[in-house]
Amino acid sequence: KISLIIPALNDAHLLAKQISALEKQSLLPNQVIIADSSGNDDIKSLSIKGSSKFELTYQGVEGSIDLTGFFKH
């Protein structure tokens, strides 16, 4: 299984392109986590739209965070 974490800070303008590019890969991730560092753009609403090809999870982050609980074994 493949899990991918995309760290983001004021990158909403790039997120849709990143998700679209991932959906075109021959080997897809099972899970993509958007780790948003509480910027001043609207990454959450973009990530909520999701993907039909893999699980997409939004996680707001303030400071550091332990994401190990998000990985599915």
Q: For residues 41 and 9, which has the higher predicted lDDT (pLDDT)?
A: 9
* Pair of tokens at residue 17: 């392109």
* Pair of tokens at residue 23: 């959906």
Q: How far apart are CA 28 and CA 37, in angstroms?
A: 25
**Residue 4: per-residue pLDDT:** 92
Please give the span between the terminal C-alpha atoms of the chain, in angstroms, as a whole number.
8
pTM more than 0.75: no
pLDDT 10s digits, 30-48: 999 888 877 667 777 766 6
